[in-house]
Structure formats: C-alpha cells, structure tokens
Amino acid sequence: MTKEQLIALGLDEATATKIAAASAEELKGYVIKSEHEKVTTANTQLETDIKTRDKQLEELKKVDAAGMQKKIEELQETNKTTTAEFEAKIKQIQIDSAVTTALTGAKAKNLKAVRALLDLDKAELDGETVKGLAEQIKKLQDGEDTKFLFDSATPTKFKGVKPPDGTDKKYPTDKKPSEMTYTELCVYMEANPGAEI
C-alpha cells in the first residue's frame, strides 16, 4: 500500500511512511503479474513449438529433395502464422492485465460488467496502460446511467418525493369505528391500541 492509502485508513504520517517503506522493500523481489503470465505463456508455447518442430524434422527425413523444398516453404509459412498468433496472445494478456488493474484502481464494483461497456476492440498499449482507457473509465464514472458501477466517496443522493413521517395521520372523530374506512380504522387502532370495535 502507498503512504497516501495508509493515511486514508487513519494512520498518522510517520507510521504510514514506515509501513510504506517496509512494504516497498518487501515487494522488491516480486514480479508484476502480467510479466509472470507473459513468461509462463511464452514458456508453454516454446515447449509446444519444440515438440512440433521435432516432429516436423522427423517428417522431413522421409521427404525427397524436390518435395523437401516445398515442405520447407510450407513450414516457414506456418511458423510465421504461429509467431503472429503467439504475439497476439501475449499482447491480449498484457491488455487484459492493464484493464483489470485500471478498473480495480477506479473501484469498479463488477469488473466484468464495466469491462463490457469499454471499447477495447482496437486497444493499444502505452507502456503498462491502455491508450484512452482512463478517459473511458472517467466517462463511465461520471455518466448518470453508469456511475453506480463504481464505489464513490460521496453517498448517492436519491431524488423523489419525501415519504410522510406519520405526523399527519388523523382519523375522523365524528365517526364510529363501524362507519370508518379500512384506512381510517387502521389509523384509529394505531392511535388507540386497546380500543374495542
């Protein structure tokens, strides 16, 4: 946690500074989740590619010289496609991680619901963030029909008619209970709990 977050939780500045420094020291050896996922995905993909290429080499031993050239060209084309798909997967993982981080920081109540409202079709990374994402999130936070999806520091104000507080409840004093309407009778009974009808 940052010093500002600790102060917001009620700690004094000196304690918050010490805890923030200790936390930063403790986290020095940790890797960002998106980087870990990228390396793990890359490792899995490389293991798969090695097995595939070993199999391809075994098949090449059986191919004649004329057919070998054609097979090599096919494999080169396949490898280009595989590389492009792999790079697209890595980019998508980074985008997903950046979006999740941004939505969590914006205090989205339901990440999946808010993510569905974002335009991420042509998302481009700008370092660790997605270009234009902050503006989209701000627009959702400020929108009358979407701001409820985020936790806010100010409580929501409800608009409408103020419900009666019950001080205006009156029953007719000139009627007998048998002549009162149901509503009037309820008010009468509330005012006179032991009354007999």
pLDDT tens-digit readout, 174-189: 777 778 888 888 888 8
Q: How confident is the model at residue 149 (pLDDT cuts 50, 70, 90)?
A: confident
Tokens read off for 74 = 């096919």
For 9-32, where are the alpha helices, taking DSSP H only? 13-26
Q: Over 60: is that where the pLDDT of 167 sits?
A: no
**Range from 65-69, 73-77, 89-93 carrying the lowest mean pLDDT:** 65-69
Per-residue confidence (pLDDT) for residue 172, from 0 to 100: 64
Q: How confident is the model at residue 154 (pLDDT cuts 50, 70, 90)?
A: low
Name which residue leads in pLDDT, 2 or 86: 86
Q: Could you tell me how many residues make up the chain?
A: 197
Percent of the chain's residues with pLDDT above 90 = 2
Q: Find all residues with CB under 8 Å of 189, minimum gap 6, and list them.
A: 195, 197
CA 128/CA 40 separation, integer angstroms: 18
Per-residue confidence (pLDDT) for residue 190, from 0 to 100: 83
CA 179/CA 191 separation, integer angstroms: 17
Q: How confident is the model at residue 171 (pLDDT cuts 50, 70, 90)?
A: low
Task: Quote the mean pLDDT of the chain.
Answer: 81
pLDDT tens-digit readout, 2-57: 778 778 888 888 888 888 888 777 777 777 778 888 888 888 999 898 999 888 88
pLDDT tens-digit readout, 87-123: 888 888 888 888 888 888 888 888 888 888 888 878 7
pTM of the prediction?
0.44
DSSP 8-state class, residue 28: G
Per-residue confidence (pLDDT) for residue 168, from 0 to 100: 54
